[in-house]
């Protein structure tokens, strides 16, 4: 697909992504108001899933397949649906499930559409992405080459912020050993930045970067559904988003910031023992 073709496809898909995201957000919010409890755990006892996660993803999948039956779906709560169109939907029905469980108003529905995706970390070109916070009603959206917006307002990352003045977002894994490693990196990084924020939703953290509520963001251990939509929104707002060794973001690492700050943060992370 050429760049022009990708741009045209992105605009056409964005309306559908937005509609599905809003419907899913309304469904999840109503379910949260009715009460929620842990349905199961995943990688560790602290890595939880609720019935609402599963039900919301089921709703999203059903609408996608009704609208575009040839597309594939890569979601957090169910096995991948293999499509034939070359287009895959990357779905996180509730990003920030612990926040959702505790009633903290920082969780989101995150949906991205990717052309040429692969398994695992997902490759290809992200054509469109939407992140909705159902509690606040904020809807962040972007299309490839079409910019990023919040409530119709064009977004732009904070520019010309030096590392020492940067408010940096991050998150932590569920496994005890990974948390220990992440804490050690943070201990080294803290003297070199303004402060740290841990919001609990990678999708919303990337959107916070896009709209200037954060200056930078990094995290290890993210899955594609955690960041696919948010990374597109951050990129379209002017951020550089990358991973280990300056390559593409993946489960090992995601770093995002305005280009100049990106280089400073990556260097600081390397000095702290993280391959950025």
What is the rounded distance in angstroms from the CA atom of residue 197 to the CA atom of residue 183? 13
Burial class (CB in 10 A: 0-12, 13-18, 19+), 217: buried
Judge whether 76 is annotated as a binding position. yes
Judge whether 66 is annotated as a binding position. no
What is the rounded distance in angstroms from the CA atom of residue 94 to the CA atom of residue 110? 7
Judge whether 92 is annotated as a binding position. yes
Q: Is the dihedral of CA 71, 219, 254, 44 positive or negative?
A: negative
Which of 263, 171, 177, 179 has the alpha carbon at shortest distance from 208? Answer: 171
Q: Is the CB of residue 52 less than 8 Å from the CB of residue 38?
A: no
What is the rounded distance in angstroms from the CA atom of residue 80 to the CA atom of residue 73? 6
Q: Is the CB of residue 239 less than 8 Å from the CB of residue 233?
A: no
Judge whether 73 is annotated as a binding position. no
Strands 139-143, 147-150: pairing is: antiparallel
Phi then psi for 197, rounded to 5 degrees? -130, 140
Phi then psi for 240, rounded to 5 degrees? -90, 130
Which of 73, 74, 76 has the alpha carbon at shortest distance from 43? Answer: 76
Judge whether 78 is annotated as a binding position. no
Binding residues: 76, 92, 94-95, 226
Binding residues for Mg(2+): 76, 92, 94-95, 226
């Amino acid at each position: 697909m050429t760049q022009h073709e990708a741009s045209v496809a992105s605009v056409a898909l964005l309306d559908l992504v937005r509609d599905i995201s809003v419907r899913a957000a309304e469904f999840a919010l109503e379910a949260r108001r009715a009460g929620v409890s842990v349905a199961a755990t995943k990688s560790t006892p602290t890595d939880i899933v609720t019935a609402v996660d599963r039900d919301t993803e089921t709703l999203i999948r059903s609408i996608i397949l009704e609208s575009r039956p040839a597309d594939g779906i890569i979601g957090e709560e169910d096995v991948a649906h293999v499509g034939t169109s070359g287009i895959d939907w990357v779905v996180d029905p509730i990003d920030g499930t612990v926040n959702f469980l505790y009633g903290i108003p920082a969780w989101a529905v995150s949906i991205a559409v990717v052309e040429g995706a692969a398994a695992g970390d997902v490759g290809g070109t992200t054509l469109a992405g939407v992140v909705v916070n159902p509690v606040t009603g904020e809807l962040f959206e972007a299309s490839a080459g079409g910019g990023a917006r919040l409530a119709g307002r064009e977004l732009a990352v904070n520019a010309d912020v030096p590392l020492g003045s940067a408010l940096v977002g991050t998150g932590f894994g569920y496994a005890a050993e990974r948390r220990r490693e992440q804490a050690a990196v943070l201990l080294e990084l803290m003297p070199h930045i303004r402060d740290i924020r841990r919001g609990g939703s990678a999708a919303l953290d990337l959107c916070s970067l896009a709209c200037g509520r954060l200056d930078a963001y990094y995290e290890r251990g993210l899955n594609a559904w955690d960041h696919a939509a948010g990374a597109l929104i951050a990129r379209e707002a002017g951020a550089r988003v990358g991973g280990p060794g300056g390559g593409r973001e993946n489960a090992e690492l995601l770093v995002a910031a305005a280009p100049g700050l990106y280089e400073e943060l990556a260097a600081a992370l390397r000095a702290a023992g993280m391959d950025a």
